[in-house]
Amino acid sequence: MPENELEGMVADLRKAGFLRSEAVEKAMLEIDRIHFVHGSERPFAYSDNALPVGYGQTISAPTVVAFMLDKLDVKKGMKVLEVGTGSGYNCALLSYLVGPKGNVYSFDIISELTNLAKENMGKTGLDTGNCKLATADASCGFEEEAPFDRIIVTAAMPWFDKAHPLAKQLNPNGKLIAPVGDRLFQDLIIFDKKSGNMEKVLPVIFVPLIGGCGFKTEEHQSK
Ligand code: SAH
């Protein structure tokens, strides 16, 4: 029997089939989502909903977070790029999954969110020093630290194919997971660089990725 709401949330994710990896399950139990949710959203910290984190952005629903990390198969010691830090929740989970010998580079285009994410991650009481946060348009990736073992994009991308800069920044055995589609609806795609295989795995709704390889800002403002 789950002992508290966090354990209940994780047990539900497992039952629903969104959480198969033990490592991701452990990470989700260790990193309490409550630290990444504020104000009037706190009562919903363990509900399976995306929640506002300010500046028009959201923390993804636990189902989507669990599903993406499960599919991405992040291992200890890996070097991971996250595009879209938001609350820092996913970044903290990645930090736990790669362990002290791994590295996570996470970018947000909104500096206030980079700062909030740092604060939130600090509240977990865990050592997240292997996770480097910065404010930048990372829609075309982060060439300086490439190649990455894994890339996770947590904002909607208008396009992705083998010629995309993010595909080029993966190591030869690398994998990427990202929502790809229009501003309103997307499919999560998983790309395996070795086989060149690209698979649509789940219909989803993410906030748009803005910038050079994302949507144009003007379109964003007109919505
Ligand atoms: N992974 C986050 C949720 C991300 S929401 C979490 O766990 O809470 C998507 C984020 O992508 C938003 O915070 C948004 O500001 C950011 N974003 C949008 N365009 C971006 C870009 N070009 N580069 C980096 N971040 C971007």
- Give the pLDDT confidence score for residue 161 in this predicted structure: 97
Q: How far is the CA of 53 from the centre of ligand 1 (A)?
A: 11
Q: What is the DSSP string of 197-211?
A: EEEEEEEE--PBPBS
Q: Tell me how far apart the alpha carbons of residues 126 and 204 are, in angstroms, rounded to a whole number.
A: 30
Given the CA of residue 53, which atom of ligand 1 is nearest to it?
8
pLDDT higher than 80, residue 220: no
- Beta strand pairing call for 186-192 and 197-204: antiparallel
Does the active-site annotation cover 60? Answer: yes
Cα dist from 28 to 21, 66, 68, 212, whole Å: 11, 8, 13, 32
Q: Residue range 141-163: average pLDDT?
A: 98
Q: Residue range 197-207: average pLDDT?
A: 96
Q: What does the pLDDT look like over 26-51, one tens digit per residue?
A: 999 999 999 999 999 999 999 999 99
The β-bridge partners of 157 are 180
Q: How far is the CA of 16 from the centre of ligand 1 (A)?
A: 26
Which of these, 94, 49, 99, 86, lies nearest to 70 by C-alpha position?
A: 94
Q: How far is the CA of 86 from the centre of ligand 1 (A)?
A: 5
- Give the pLDDT confidence score for residue 221 in this predicted structure: 41
- Give the pLDDT confidence score for residue 222 in this predicted structure: 35
Given the CA of residue 214, which atom of ligand 1 is nearest to it?
22
- Give the pLDDT confidence score for residue 3 in this predicted structure: 83
pLDDT higher than 80, residue 165: yes
Which of these, 96, 29, 84, lies nearest to 60 by C-alpha position?
A: 84
Choosing from 118, 154, 219 the residue with most ligand 1 atoms within 8 A of its CB, the one to mutate for a pocket test is 154
pLDDT higher than 90, residue 219: no
Q: What does the pLDDT look like over 170-201, one tens digit per residue?
A: 999 999 999 999 999 999 999 999 999 999 99
Amino acid residing at 177: I
Q: What is the pTM of this model?
A: 0.96
pLDDT higher than 90, residue 223: no
Report whether 87 contacts 155 (CB < 8 A).
no
Cis preceding-peptide flag for 52 (omega within 30 of 0):
no
Choosing from 105, 107, 108, 188 the residue with most ligand 1 atoms within 8 A of its CB, the one to mutate for a pocket test is 108
Label residue 24 by pLDDT band (50, 70, 90).
very high
- Give the pLDDT confidence score for residue 2 in this predicted structure: 80
Q: How many CB atoms neighbour CB 185 within 10 A?
A: 12
Which of these, 107, 112, 105, 182, lies nearest to 148 by C-alpha position?
A: 105
Residues with CB under 6 A from ligand 1: 57-60, 83-84, 86-87, 89-90, 107-110, 113, 137-139, 154-155, 207, 209-211, 214
Mean pLDDT of the chain: 95
Amino acid residing at 221: Q
Cα dist from 144 to 41, 79, 140, 141, 162, whole Å: 37, 13, 12, 9, 20
pLDDT higher than 80, residue 218: no
Return the structure tokens found at 19: 């959480």
Q: For the chain, give the number of residues.
A: 223
Q: What does the pLDDT look like over 55-104, one tens digit per residue?
A: 999 999 999 999 999 999 999 999 999 999 999 999 999 999 999 999 99
Percent of the chain with pLDDT over 70: 97
**Whole-angstrom distance between the N-terminal and C-terminal Cα of the chain?**
45
Return the structure tokens found at 36: 């990444």
Return the structure tokens found at 24: 């991701």
Q: Tell me how far apart the alpha carbons of residues 94 and 91 are, in angstroms, rounded to a whole number.
A: 5
Phi, psi of 200, rounded to the nearest 5 degrees: -85, 125
